[in-house]
Structure 1
Amino acid sequence: MNSRLQVLCTHRMCAVSRQAGVIAMTDHTFSDDERAAVYRAIAERRDMRHFCGGSVAPELLARLLEAAHQAPSVGLMQPWRFIRISDRQLRGQIQAQVEAERIRTAKALGERSDDFMTLKVEGINDCAEVLVAALMDDREKHIFGRRTLPEMDMASLSCAIQNLWLAARAEGLGMGWVSLFEPQALADLLQMPAGSKPLAILCLGPVREFYPAPMLVLEGWAQARPLHELLYENQWGVTS
């Protein structure tokens, strides 16, 4: 074992208590208030579409992006790239691309087209900050953890986005992930290199209030399924 890892694993902070056959981490556990805050951020995170303008202080934005940057990534490839959109004209061009895809999506939805068109699907022109989260170019050279699952680069970027989302909620800011766009058209607009790929347009900023439940639930578009329907044991479809 690596000597440094051995020291860490034998340190008193790695002590565990064994009571009634249950192994529980002790010294590593957060305080009750700290744990409650983590679970609250997870429970109250919302995909926001309604913003109230305002601004995000530079030091706060830096803190949020640092949280994103601390995400896990396959093979430590850190495939994420974030493009901050500070040009209002460019923001308008991005919104136009989203609107064009919104119309195409509505046509593809058939009988649900009219219902879809009543939904607010983005807040690009209303939010304080717009970030485009993208996968870097030249990803194929990263094989560790991706030989059979090349999509792990996308999973890694998604972890970074989730970090940003939860940190934003803890800071009282709303965030929305917009995926209604044609990736190559957006990449061309942002002069991204060949092989890179935008994955998300992120709207970030102050909101008047957070939705009490996911917006699509409130709008009657979909219903969230309970965990017990999605948790299997040993084999697909077998519930405990």
Structure 2
Amino acid sequence: MRAQDFSAAETQAVYRAIHERRDMRHFAGGAVAPDLLRRLLDAAHHAPSVGFMQPWRFIRIRDAALRQRLHATVEQERVRTARALGEREDEFMRLKVEGLIDAAELIAVALADGREPHVFGRRTLPQMDLASAACAIQNLWLAARAEGLGMGWVSLFDPAEVAALLGLPAGAEPIALLCLGPVHEFYEEPMLQQERWARREPLSSMVFDDRWGAASALFDATQDREIG
């Protein structure tokens, strides 16, 4: 075994964090110790990024009044989203979609300004700055789960309103409000699946061989059922 290899237990722990990570909406208050928060943000900062551009910026919301204003912005968008859903409006309004007030920590994630010069890997796919920042958020999510903390990604907001509230410079763009902290328990399954809003599709329906729509030889019905 090479020094760089993971032990069987370490490997299993990685897969456990992936499969037991949940987009949390119910929080238990409390606090996140500063050394733990630094450790989680360091995990986020070690995410891969296209061209090593590191486009993520994190803003820790410590002012209670600012948190309330952000909550109001999210609530406004929640209502607009419900109306846009048409016949599912009432069903959506019964869902708990954020934990901004209850979570121990609220962290805004933004794409940095001055991203235009980063053309390495972005000349034809400029959205890779967003993809890179999403990797950082996923790192934070998995590390939080491993540390026993819940995290929820809230995207129900008007970007211009949040940018103004956070004093972002021109060119910077908010992409997430992350609710982070202790939870009473983790959902047994994704909350939106638990609430019958949606369900996880079988992996075999999303993996193709050679061209779009061509079923992959990796799967038959039994294998897909075992993985899912």
Q: TM-score normalised by the shorter chain: which range applies? A: over 0.9
Matches within 5 A, 1:26-45: 27=2, 28-45=4-21
Match of 2:66 in 1: 90
1:135 is matched with: 111
In structure 1, the partner of 2:153 is 177
Distance 1:142 1:29 in 2: 33
Is 1:71 aligned to residue 13 of structure 2? no
Deviations 1:120-140 (A, max 9, x none): 000000000000000000111
- In structure 1, which of residues 200, 203, 206 is the aligned counterpart of residue 176 of structure 2? 200
Match of 1:223 in 2: 199
The secondary structure found in structure 1 opposite 2:116 is helix
TM-score (structure 1 length as normaliser): 0.89
* 1:144 equivalent in structure 2: 120
Name the aligned partner's letter for residue 188 of structure 2.
P
Larger of the two Rg values belongs to structure: 1
CA deviation string 1:102-136 (max 9, x = no partner): 00000100000000000000000000000000000
Instruction: Please tell me the residue identity of whatever aligns with 1:51.
Output: F
Distance in 1 (alpha carbons) for counterparts of 2:160 and 2:47: 26
Matching residue's letter, 1:29: D
Q: Does 1:117 align with 2:93?
A: yes
Q: Distance in 2 between matches of 1:225 and 1:97?
A: 32
1:3-18 → structure 2 map (5 Å cutoff): none
- Distance in 2, Cα, partners of 1:63 & 1:42: 18
Structure 1 stretches of at least 4 aligned residues deviating more than 6 Å after TM superposition: none
Unpaired segments of 5 or more residues in structure 2? 217-228
Residue number in structure 1 paired with 2:190? 214
What's 2:225 paired with? none
- Provide the identity percentage: 65
Counterpart in 1 of 2:34? 58
Which amino acid in structure 1 is aligned with residue 97 of structure 2?
Answer: V
Name the CA distance, whole Å, in 1 between partners of 2:202 and 2:139: 23
What SS is found at the alignment partner of 1:140?
coil
Distance, in Å, in 1 between the alignment partners of 2:128 and 2:194 is 32
Query: Following TM superposition, by how much is the alpha carbon of 1:29 offset from its aligned partner in structure 2, in angstroms?
Result: 2.8
Partner amino acid for 1:85?
Answer: I
AA aligned to 1:107 is R
State yes or no: 1:104 paired with 2:84: no
RMSD of equivalent CA atoms: 0.7
CA offsets 1:18-39 (integer angstroms, 9 cap, x no match)? xxxxxxxx52431010001000
How far is 1:226 from its partner? 1.1
Q: What is the one-letter code of the residue matched to 1:102?
A: R
Does residue 161 (structure 1) correspond to residue 137 (structure 2)? The answer is: yes
- In the TM superposition, residue 215 of structure 1 has moved relative to its aligned partner by 0.2
How many residues of Structure 1 are paired with residues of Structure 2 in the alignment? 215
For 2:94 and 2:117, the matched residues in 1 are separated by: 44
Give 5+ residue unaligned stretches, structure 1.
Answer: 1-25
What is the alpha-carbon distance in structure 2 between the residues aligned to residue 82 and residue 63 of structure 1? 14
Q: Deviations over 1:52-87 (max 9, x none)?
A: 000000000000000000000011110000000000
